[in-house]
Amino acid sequence: MRIAAVGSALPPHIYDQDALIEAFRKHWAERHFNLDRLEQLHRNVLVGGRHLALPIEEYDELTSWGKANDAWIRVAEEVGGRAVLQALDRAGLTVSDVDCLIFVTVTGVATPSIDARLMNRLGLKPGVKRIPIFGLGCVAGTAGIARAADYVRAFPDEVAVLLSVELCSLTLQREDLSIANLIASGLFGDGAAAAVVVGENRRAAGPRIVASRSIFYPDSERVMGWDISENGFKIVLSAEVPEVVRRHLRGDVDAFLADHGLSRGEIATWISHPGGPRVLEAVQAALEVSDDALEIAWRSLREVGNLSSTSVLLVLEETLRARSPEPGSFGLMVAMGPGFCSELVLLQW
């Protein structure tokens, strides 16, 4: 089983953090909010700019969750389709080669789901097995790779495509002045990424998927997630996230690697979800790795922000493009998300 290629697609509406801060200052000034505190929170997340699903002036027209979700469906089809086509092209495949399409998101809802809508848009064959997954949040990029690997393990002649679309800007709660929502408004961005995973009977040049592991932490539901109401998705984002990382990640990774006769020192390539500065610092401390080991994750955070499940796939895409790990060397994909939980995927080049 191998990851044959990764593709991505970001909306064309790009804004630097200064422009976004100014827009939020104008909006929340009407509520007599501490605007200097807002700006400090947005600076602290170290995001330089983000891609937005819509031109910034159109967000004032999203006066209901229904309107925001309609925009989510429209843009998700567009960027999702482009990401799938780019990934297939890089893998030397076409839509006729796809046997399974896994779709992950946590920022919008649709029935028929986005994967079904892409069947028509992309001309996928009618027999494609579709697996839409909602609710895994930031962990879903790594979890989706693991589930795609499970699929092609059962069907070694087949091709699975994982598609992640996260349009976080369309979940913004304009009336929520909680610290969690203010941080989220400065941290999260929009985009899509797709990964092509092929069975062992197909030729591919990408890394081999050796194994995966899911770890669930009991009684941790309020660490991260959504509260869903008539107004849409309200962020749940506990300050405990970095502490949960420090408490669990090292032991989880060590136990997983030990089961495969490996240690952290034998991992040459780390592919981590860039949750935010404090989370990345906690990951780095837990794994006891150098600054360079997570450099791509840090760069992704600075350049486009946190794209929930899409982000770790962007880090994987850039790793495949720029790093060229040594043949035979090992890599580890790491992400954590709502549950609270971890997903680990062991790779070998």
CATH code at 113?
A: 3.40.47.10
Q: Which neighbouring-strand residues pair with 166?
A: 191
Q: Does residue 138 have an active-site annotation? A: yes
Residues 183 and 38 in one domain: yes
Residue 152, in any domain of the structure: yes
User: What are the respective helix, strand and coil percentages of the chain, to the nearest 5?
Assistant: 45, 25, 30
Residues 250 and 186 in one domain: no
Question: Going by C-beta distance under 8 Å and a sequence separation of 6 or more, which residues neighbour residue 213?
Answer: 252, 256, 343, 344
Residue 48, in any domain of the structure: yes
Q: Decide which of 176, 198, 220 is a domain's last residue.
A: 198
Residue 110, in any domain of the structure: yes
Question: Sign of the C-alpha dihedral, residues 281, 275, 338, 3?
Answer: negative
Residues 144 and 36 in one domain: yes
Residues 83 and 190 in one domain: yes
Cis peptide before 12 (omega within 30 of 0): no
Q: Report the domain count for the chain.
A: 2
What span, in angstroms and rounded, lies between the C-alpha atoms of 32 and 60? Answer: 19
Question: Sign of the C-alpha dihedral, residues 67, 114, 133, 187?
Answer: negative
Residues 140 and 173 in one domain: yes
Count of other CB atoms within 10 angstroms of residue 200: 13
315 and 5 in contact (C-beta within 8 Å)?
A: no
- The pLDDT of 299-315, averaged and rounded, is 97
114 and 103 in contact (C-beta within 8 Å)?
A: yes
* Closest by Cα among 327, 308, 330, 310 to 318: 310
Give the full edge-to-edge strand order of the sheet including 100-105. Answer: 129-134, 100-105, 159-167, 190-198, 2-9, 208-216, 341-348, 330-337, 267-272
Residues 25 and 103 in one domain: yes
Residues 160 and 213 in one domain: no
Question: What is residue 31's predicted lDDT score, i.e. its pLDDT?
Answer: 67
Residues 32 and 176 in one domain: yes
Question: What is residue 27's predicted lDDT score, i.e. its pLDDT?
Answer: 79
Residue 187, in any domain of the structure: yes
- Lowest mean pLDDT, pick from 78-82, 151-155, 167-171, 289-293: 289-293
Note the pLDDT tens digit of each residue in 165-191: 999 999 998 888 888 888 888 999 999
Question: What is residue 178's predicted lDDT score, i.e. its pLDDT?
Answer: 86
* Closest by Cα among 161, 174, 189, 179 to 80: 161
What span, in angstroms and rounded, lies between the C-alpha atoms of 310 and 15? Answer: 19
Residue 203, in any domain of the structure: no
Q: Decide which of 170, 198, 226 is a domain's last residue.
A: 198
Residues 63 and 159 in one domain: yes
Residue 74, in any domain of the structure: yes
* DSSP letter for each residue of 297-346: HHHHHHHH-B-THHHHHHHHHHHHHHT-PPTT-EEEEEEEETTTEEEEEE
Count of other CB atoms within 10 angstroms of residue 322: 8
Q: Kindly calculate the radius of gyration of the chain based on its CA atoms and give it in whole angstroms.
A: 19
- Rounded to 5 degrees, what are φ and ψ at 204? -160, 150
What span, in angstroms and rounded, lies between the C-alpha atoms of 256 and 214? Answer: 10
* Closest by Cα among 277, 285, 63, 45 to 184: 45
Q: Decide which of 148, 168, 198 is a domain's last residue.
A: 198
- The pLDDT of 104-123, averaged and rounded, is 97
Residues written for the chain: 349
Catalytic residue, from 100, 138, 168, 341: name it.
138
- % pLDDT > 90, the chain: 82
Q: Which neighbouring-strand residues pair with 15?
A: 50
Token pair 């983000």 is at which residue?
50
Residues 260 and 328 in one domain: yes
Question: What is residue 33's predicted lDDT score, i.e. its pLDDT?
Answer: 65
What span, in angstroms and rounded, lies between the C-alpha atoms of 88 and 94? Answer: 6
Question: What is residue 32's predicted lDDT score, i.e. its pLDDT?
Answer: 60
Quick check: helix, strand or coil at residue 285? helix
Residues 242 and 331 in one domain: yes
Note the pLDDT tens digit of each residue in 317-341: 999 998 878 999 999 999 999 989 9
Question: What is residue 179's predicted lDDT score, i.e. its pLDDT?
Answer: 87
In the structure, what pLDDT confidence band is assigned to residue 212 with cuts at 50, 70 and 90? very high
37 CB-side CA count, 13 A: 10
Residues 254 and 168 in one domain: no
* Closest by Cα among 163, 162, 157, 154 to 199: 157
**Domain with 330 in it:** 208-348
In the structure, what pLDDT confidence band is assigned to residue 345 with cuts at 50, 70 and 90? very high
Note the pLDDT tens digit of each residue in 30-64: 766 677 888 888 899 999 999 999 999 999 999 99
- The pLDDT of 91-110, averaged and rounded, is 98
DSSP state of 271: E
